[in-house]
């Protein structure tokens, strides 16, 4: 992506989170809903896994497998019926700025400019004004939107809005970045650009990322490790390391290793669909 | 702009935009037709002047009342009632409506009662208000408040209910507290809808003004209409109606401009 500044920036806010082996630990988590009729729907059934620090973890699965629910639970926006989630060794008991999230829909505040959107979390934390300015400038450059700082969301394209959403989440210097199909609503060209941009931003920040998608190509391109989920009930079926070297560009989709993995994951998801029918 | 379809076809196709000049002329035509019909009926003597004044007669009445200062006195009296009543109502209904739309507990507490009161005819309360608070300014203001407040409350609650949950979730993950969410997300997100509600209910406030002034008042546009009826001065009644329409139009446009100014992001 030519739009992204290549200047050797120093991270403005240094992560001062505890050193832990597993940045995210999901421990025996179940999520069940009671339908109005009285029967129980199991969205997640005793899910356990860990994501090591600085990893790019991608969760793939068919719709209804509870992959988004898992993110909402980690963000603290919903409570598990059973089990616990630990981020940086601390149990999740509600939402907080240490777990940034990028949503599938556009969630920029339409009454705030790009700059003010990125400032939102920093202002809530009452950081000094000059520090806020430095951080915002840094992330505006990271996502290539320095020229659009004073624009309002309605003046931006879908891809640009998601770039602001990424910058806004990262500006808080969270322990972990949760991404819920963030490129799902974008056209395929923009989607490819955004994947490259995300890899670049992630390479610079080395945040732990948990990225949810149903797009297998996207999963293999981005992930260090892929968590394949099955539906009804939602559970982890298999965990796969992606042995493809970084930096990765769009050509990886032609590599034999990529195709082998894709075939394997397709097989896993296909089995799941057979079970349904 | 050249188009393939003829104007006639365009006029008869749903939701197709038309050239600005055509729209303007059609709007003007409607006014001309109404005024023309009025002129024919009154100047032509079809309807006796005791029941229908001539357009010239209404203008003359306006000039007559304006020159001796009575007109401005009554216009100001009416404006005072509408603005005070509307302001008091809005100052309470906006925050309360936001709470009602955002907190299920407040909604559960208020909604059934509000929906009951909302359908009570305002006019039926006028005698009660006269009994309780007399026939002064307070009584007329009370009628306006009663007419507008409960409608505003329900409409503003709906506005705040319509704010996307995703927006709230996003702010929580950015470290916002519940207080932050109410002040910095629900409030601004509801602003365009609040202004729209105020704009619509301002129109209703003008309607209730006449109800209030017809029954018990010693000044105001409703009052001079009533007085004019007793003296068979239809031209003054027409004048009062026209002025209320005009004032309503002006306040409506002011709200439209205000919305454009302070909630431009929502356009």
User: How many other CB atoms are found less than 10 A from the CB of residue A28?
Assistant: 12
B48 and B64 in a single domain? The answer is no
A103·B166 Cβ contact <8 A: yes
Give the pLDDT band of residue B65 (cuts 50, 70, 90).
very high
Tell me the mean pLDDT in the region B228-241. 90
Q: Which residue has the higher pLDDT, A117 or B49?
A: A117
Whether A16 is in a domain gets the answer no
- SS3 call for B63: helix
B171 and B215 in a single domain? The answer is yes
- DSSP letter (8 states) at residue A228: E
| Distance (Å) from the alpha carbon of A76 to chain B's nearest alpha carbon | 8
Structural domain for A266, as ranges: 22-276
**Over pLDDT 70: what percentage of chain A?**
91
Phi and psi at residue B174, to the nearest 5° = -95, 5
Whether B11 is in a domain gets the answer no
Residue A13: the pLDDT is 46
Tell me the mean pLDDT in the region B132-155. 92
Closest-CA residue of chain B to A177? B173
Pairing between strand A225-230 and A82-87? unpaired
- Comparing CB atoms, the residue among A99, A105, A153 nearest residue B173 is A99
Strand partners, A87: A24, A90
B175·A97 Cβ contact <8 A: yes
pLDDT of A273 higher than 80: no
| Chain A stretch 10-69, residues whose beta carbon is closer than 8 A to a beta carbon of chain B | none
B265·A99 Cβ contact <8 A: no
Whether A6 is in a domain gets the answer no
Whether B109 is in a domain gets the answer yes
Whether B3 is in a domain gets the answer no
Whether B108 is in a domain gets the answer yes
Cβ pairs bridging A and B (under 8 Å): 71
pLDDT in tens, B180-204: 999 999 999 999 999 999 999 999 9
Surface-to-core class of residue A177, CB atoms within 10 Å of its CB (0-12 exposed, 13-18 middle, 19+ buried): buried
pLDDT of A18 higher than 70: no
Residue A7: the pLDDT is 40
Closest-CA residue of chain A to B180? A124
pLDDT in tens, A232-255: 889 999 999 999 998 888 888 899
- Comparing CB atoms, the residue among A96, A107, A125 nearest residue B170 is A107
- Comparing CB atoms, the residue among B166, B174, B263 nearest residue A121 is B174
Q: Does B183 touch chain A (CB under 8 A)?
A: no
Q: Which residue has the higher pLDDT, A77 or A206?
A: A77
What value of ipTM does the predicted structure carry? 0.89
Q: Does A93 touch chain B (CB under 8 A)?
A: no
B42 and B153 in a single domain? The answer is no
- DSSP letter (8 states) at residue B185: I
Give the pLDDT band of residue B232 (cuts 50, 70, 90).
confident
A124·B180 Cβ contact <8 A: yes
Q: What is the CATH number of the domain that holds B229?
A: 1.10.3720.10
CA dihedral sign of residues B190, B191, B196, B200 = positive
Closest-CA residue of chain B to A171? B174
Tell me the mean pLDDT in the region B246-260. 91
Whether A227 is in a domain gets the answer yes
B136 and B154 in a single domain? The answer is yes
A95·B173 Cβ contact <8 A: yes
B47 and B104 in a single domain? The answer is no
Closest-CA residue of chain A to B167? A107
User: How many other CB atoms are found less than 10 A from the CB of residue A184?
Assistant: 15
Q: Does B171 touch chain A (CB under 8 A)?
A: yes
The domain tally of chain A equals 1
Tell me the mean pLDDT in the region A25-54. 91
The token pair at A52 is: 């090591």
B143 and B227 in a single domain? The answer is yes
Residue B2: the pLDDT is 53
Give the pLDDT band of residue B3 (cuts 50, 70, 90).
low
Cβ neighbours of residue A107 closer than 8 Å, sequence gap 6 or more: A165, B164, B166, B167, B169, B170
A101·B164 Cβ contact <8 A: no
- What's chain A's average pLDDT? 89
pLDDT in tens, B92-123: 999 999 999 999 999 999 999 999 998 898 88
pLDDT in tens, A156-209: 999 999 999 999 999 999 999 999 999 998 999 999 999 999 999 999 888 999
Give the pLDDT band of residue B158 (cuts 50, 70, 90).
very high
Whether B214 is in a domain gets the answer yes
Worst-scoring range by mean pLDDT, A105-109, B23-27, B46-50, B151-155?
Answer: B46-50
Whether B28 is in a domain gets the answer yes
Whether B216 is in a domain gets the answer yes
Q: Which residues of A touch B178 (CB under 8 A)?
A: none
Distances (CA, A) of A159 to A58, A185, A187, A198, A249: 20, 9, 9, 12, 19
pLDDT of A16 higher than 80: no
Q: How far apart are CA B142 and CA B133, in angstroms?
A: 9
pLDDT in tens, A132-152: 999 999 999 999 999 999 999
B132 and B23 in a single domain? The answer is no
B171 and B113 in a single domain? The answer is yes
B169·A169 Cβ contact <8 A: no
Start-to-end CA span in chain A (Å): 43
Q: Which residue has the higher pLDDT, A271 or A88?
A: A88
Residue A5: the pLDDT is 42
pLDDT in tens, A44-67: 999 999 999 999 999 999 888 899
B26 and B92 in a single domain? The answer is no
pTM of structure = 0.84
Q: Element (H or E) spanning B234, and its range?
A: helix B234-262
- Comparing CB atoms, the residue among B166, B172, B267 nearest residue A95 is B172
Residue A59: the pLDDT is 97
Structural domain for B29, as ranges: 18-52
B74 and B116 in a single domain? The answer is yes
pLDDT in tens, B202-215: 999 998 988 888 87
Residue A1: the pLDDT is 39
A153·B263 Cβ contact <8 A: no
Whether B2 is in a domain gets the answer no
Q: Which residues of A touch B177 (CB under 8 A)?
A: 124
- What's chain B's average pLDDT? 91
The domain tally of chain B equals 2
Residue A275: the pLDDT is 55
What is chain B's percent helix, strand, coil content, to nearest 5?
80, 0, 20
**Helices A129-142 & A158-171 angle (0-180, nearest 10):** 140
A124·B170 Cβ contact <8 A: no
B104 and B236 in a single domain? The answer is yes
pLDDT of B15 higher than 90: no
| Distance (Å) from the alpha carbon of B104 to chain A's nearest alpha carbon | 18
**Helices B234-262 & B55-67 angle (0-180, nearest 10):** 80
Are the beta carbons of A74 and A247 closer than 8 angstroms?
A: no
B265·A110 Cβ contact <8 A: yes
Closest-CA residue of chain A to B164? A107
Q: What is the CATH number of the domain that holds A108?
A: 3.40.50.300
Residue A12: the pLDDT is 44
B90 and B147 in a single domain? The answer is yes
Residue B19: the pLDDT is 87
């Amino acid at each position: 992506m030519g739009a992204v500044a290549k200047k050797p920036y120093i991270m403005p806010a240094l992560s001062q989170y505890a050193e832990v082996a597993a940045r995210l630990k999901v421990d025996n988590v179940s999520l069940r809903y009671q339908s109005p009729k009285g029967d129980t729907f199991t969205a997640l059934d005793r899910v356990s896994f860990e994501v090591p620090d600085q990893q790019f973890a991608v969760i793939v699965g068919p719709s209804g497998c509870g992959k988004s629910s898992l993110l909402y639970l980690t963000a603290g926006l919903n409570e598990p019926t059973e089990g616990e989630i630990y981020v940086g060794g601390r149990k999740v008991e509600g939402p907080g700025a240490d777990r940034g999230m990028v949503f599938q829909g556009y969630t920029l505040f339409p009454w705030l400019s790009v700059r003010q959107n990125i400032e939102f979390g920093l202002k809530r934390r009452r950081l000094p004004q000059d520090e806020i300015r430095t951080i915002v400038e840094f992330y505006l450059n990271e996502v290539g939107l320095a020229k659009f700082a004073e624009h309002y969301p309605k003046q931006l394209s879908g891809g640009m809005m998601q770039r602001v959403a990424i910058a806004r989440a990262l500006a808080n210097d969270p322990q972990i970045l949760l991404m819920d199909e963030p490129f799902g609503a974008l056209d395929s060209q923009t989607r490819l650009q955004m994947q490259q941009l995300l890899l670049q931003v992630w390479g610079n920040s080395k945040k732990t990322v948990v990225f949810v998608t149903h797009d297998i190509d996207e999963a293999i391109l981005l992930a260090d490790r892929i968590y394949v989920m099955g539906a009804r009930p939602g559970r982890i079926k298999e965990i796969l390391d992606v042995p493809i070297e970084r930096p990765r560009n769009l050509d990886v989709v032609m590599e034999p290793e990529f195709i082998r993995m894709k075939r394997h994951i397709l097989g896993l998801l296909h089995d799941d669909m057979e079970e349904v029918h | 702009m050249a188009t393939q379809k003829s104007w006639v076809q365009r006029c008869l196709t749903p939701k197709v935009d038309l050239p600005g000049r055509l729209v303007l002329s059609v709007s003007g035509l409607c006014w001309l037709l109404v005024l023309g019909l009025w002129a024919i009926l009154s100047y032509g003597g079809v309807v006796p002047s005791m029941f229908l004044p001539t357009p010239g007669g209404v203008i003359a009445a306006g000039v007559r009342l304006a020159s001796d200062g009575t007109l401005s006195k009554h216009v100001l009296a009416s404006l005072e009632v509408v603005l005070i009543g509307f302001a008091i109502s809005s100052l309470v209904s906006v925050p309360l409506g936001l709470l009602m739309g955002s907190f299920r507990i407040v909604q559960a507490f208020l909604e059934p009662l509000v929906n009951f009161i909302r359908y009570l005819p305002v006019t039926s309360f006028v005698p009660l208000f006269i009994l309780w608070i007399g026939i002064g300014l307070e009584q007329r203001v009370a009628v306006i408040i009663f007419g507008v407040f409960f409608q505003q409350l329900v409409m503003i609650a709906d506005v705040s209910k319509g704010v996307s949950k995703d927006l709230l979730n996003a702010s929580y993950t950015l470290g916002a507290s519940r207080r932050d969410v109410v002040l910095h997300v629900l409030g601004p997100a509801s602003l365009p809808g609040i202004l729209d509600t105020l704009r619509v209910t301002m129109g209703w406030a003008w309607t209730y003004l006449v109800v209030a002034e017809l029954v018990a008042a010693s000044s105001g546009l409703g009052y001079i209409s009533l007085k004019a009826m007793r003296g068979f001065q239809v031209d003054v009644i027409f004048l009062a109606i026209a002025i209320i329409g005009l004032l309503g139009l002006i306040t409506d446009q002011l709200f439209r401009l205000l919305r454009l100014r302070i909630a431009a992001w929502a356009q």
